[in-house]
Every structure is written in C-alpha cells, then in structure tokens.
Amino acid sequence: MSHVPVLLKEVIEILNPKKGEFFVDGTLGAGGHAEEILKKISPGGTLLGIDWDPGILEETKKRFEGLDLGSKKIFVEGNYADLPRMLLGNHLPKADGMILDLGFSSWHIESSGRGFSFGKDEPLDMRYNSRGGLTAYETVNGFGEKILADIIYQYGEERDSRRIAKAIVAARREKKIRTAKELANVIDTVFGGKRGATSNATKTFQALRIYVNGELENLKTILRELPEVLKIGGRVGIITFHSLEDRIVKNAFKMLQKNGQGKILNKKIIKPEREEVLGNPKSRSAKLRAIQIM
C-alpha cells in the first residue's frame, strides 16, 4: 500500500510532537504522518490512529505492529467526529496534538473497489465505511434531478451541475448507472469532448464522495469539539484539498482565536513546495492550517 504523506515536513515542524506526548491521527490512512509522529513521541508516547475505513485501517495496523518504538499504539475504526466518545471509551486524556489529512487516499483509488475513480468499472459506492449511509449508486439512481444538481453544485462547485443532473436522469431512465465508469461516460456526453485539464467527471465525483460521507459535517463537528479533545497548549494541523474544506477550517480557527480559545500557528497558509508537487502531483491542492488550543 503506498501513500506519500503530503506536507510531512511542515506538519512535523508546526505540530512539534515531543517525547512522551499523546497524539491523535484522525485520518490514519496508510500511516505516513502517524509514523513520523510516532517516532517523535517515542519512547513513552501514545498514538491513537483512527480511520473510518476498516480496509485501510487493518492494513496500516498490521504495518505498525512491526514498529516497536516504545510507545503505546491504539487503532480505532470510526469517524473522527466521534473523537470525544473514543477518548472516553479508551480511557484516554485530552491530546497534546492531532493531525487531520482530509479526504481519500491513493488506496481508495487503487485498491478499495468502491468506485472512487471514474476510470474504473467498479460499483458506485464511495462510502469510506459500508456499515451505514447511502451509497453513490443510491444517490445517483434515486434522487430527483434538482436535488442531484444541488449536490453536484454545492459539493463539487460544478458550474454545469444542472446539465449533468439532467443527463444522469435521462440515462438512468434507460438503464441504472451501476459503475463509476458508466457515470463518467454519462457526464462525458454532456460535453461531447474534454472540457479542460481534468476529467469532465472530477467535480461530480468529488461532490458525491463528500455527500455520501457527510465530509463537511464531520469536519464542522470536530472543529467544534477541539477544546474538548485537546489539552491547553495542544496543537492541531488540518490538511485540506479543496476550497470548501479550507474555508470551513479557516473560519473555525479564526473564531477560536477571536474567542481566546486558540492561537493560529501558521502566519501564512502552508502549501507544498514546488519539489513536492513535482514528485507527488496529488499534493498540488493541499493546504495546511494549524492552531494551538489556549
């Protein structure tokens, strides 16, 4: 399993994990950030690694079993928005630090088989956790045209959302849209060719993923909970990949600072350096913000 951690050097620098500290990685993924944090808090530290996706969590947990650095490692399958309950359930105190690296991982595209990638003939699911919630298939084949257009516009910032929703509804009248590739093909018919540098389906796929996983709601929930889950002096870093998420983080951090509950640690927004983007093009839209709880 490969996932090159984004902004790794910058995350470690700004969160400054120290020996013996307790850190949470709320979006463990392949564990790239967690591994570096574990090295810094060891020995004597505690790492709580959370991922909503049981598939990726299991693989990373196995990998970490071989990493004995003299710290405690706890792995929990769940939504980071439930962190207050997870801390209680695992008899853990408030944390010294937390990283959230939002969204999906390369593993979801390459190995999940759940239709995250528009090039693949995989069933349209797109949930991180299949224990509950609507699938992308149910959304695409079951929702009315106006609601679909609203989802695609709101969560994908797709200007052509109405035309795309119309094409989806027309196509599914003939035959249900079952796979990611089928959906991408329907979207292509709207444009009759490639629109720009990215695939015609990029924004619609982003919208569906955000919608079925409630990604923006999860983010807003954890942001409200920060003073509850971090010690005074605790540091949080959040990496976002699109403007919808970044706006939410920016406003919440500003509000915490205004209320005297936090101090923003990044003077300027932190973005990957040119070399990182060249080596890992997926990092190009990443932005890091960090705050210290007061």
Ligand X SMILES: C[S@@+](CC[C@H](N)C(=O)[O-])C[C@H]1O[C@@H](n2cnc3c(N)ncnc32)[C@H](O)[C@@H]1O
182 binds ligand X (CB under 6 A): no
Binding of ligand X at residue 155 (CB under 6 A)? no
The torsion angles phi and psi of 126, rounded to 5 degrees, stand at: 70, 5
Sequence-ordered alpha helix ranges (H) in the chain: 8-15, 32-41, 54-65, 83-89, 106-110, 136-142, 145-156, 161-174, 180-191, 202-213, 215-229, 243-258, 274-279
> Among the candidate windows 31-39, 89-97, 153-161, 253-261, which touches ligand X by CB under 6 A?
31-39
Binding residue (CB under 6 A) for ligand X from 21, 59, 96, 101: 101
Judged by CB under 6 A, the stretch of 12-20, 30-38, 115-123, 242-250 that binds ligand X is 30-38
- Of the pair 137, 241, the CB lying nearest ligand X is at 241
Residue 32 binds ligand X (CB under 6 A): yes
Check binding of 115 to ligand X (CB under 6 A): no
| CB contact at 8 A, 26 and 51 | no
51 makes contact with ligand X (CB under 6 A)? yes
Distance from the first to the final alpha carbon of the chain = 38
Considering only 17, 49, 103, 237, the residue that binds ligand X (CB under 6 A) is 103
Give the span between the Cα atoms of 60 and 66, in whole angstroms: 10
Instruction: Tell whether residue 52 is a contact of ligand X (CB under 6 A).
Output: yes
> How is 146-181 classified by DSSP, letter by letter?
HHHHHHHHHHH--TTHHHHHHHHHHHHHHS---BHH
Which residues inside 5-24 make contact with ligand X, applying CB under 6 A?
5
Q: Decide if 60 contacts 2 (C-beta within 8 A).
A: no
Judged by CB under 6 A, the residue of 23, 42, 46, 53 near ligand X is: 53
CA distance 112 to 105: 10
Give residues 188-227 in contact with ligand X (rule: CB under 6 A).
218
Count residues binding ligand X (CB under 6 A).
Answer: 23
287 binds ligand X (CB under 6 A): no
Q: Whole-number minimum distance, CB 98 to ligand X, in Å?
A: 12
Q: Least CB distance from residue 161 to ligand X, whole Å?
A: 24
Q: Which is nearer to ligand X, 103 or 234 (CB)?
A: 103
Tell me how far, at minimum, the Cβ of 1 lies from ligand X, in Å: 9
Tell me the CA distances in angstroms from 71 to 40, 64, 68, 128, 212, one per residue in order. Answer: 10, 11, 7, 28, 36
CB 232, min distance to ligand X, A: 25
Nearer to ligand X, 162 or 271 (CB): 271
Q: How far is Cα 145 from Cα 150, in angstroms, rounded to an integer?
A: 9
Number of neighbouring beta carbons within 10 Å of residue 14:
21
Residue closer to ligand X by CB (options 101, 245) is: 101
Alpha helix (H) residue ranges in 95-135: 106-110
Is the separation of the CB atoms in 30 and 107 below 8 Å? yes
Note the residues at the interface with ligand X (CB under 6 A): 3, 5, 26-27, 29-33, 50-53, 56, 79-81, 101, 103-105, 128, 218
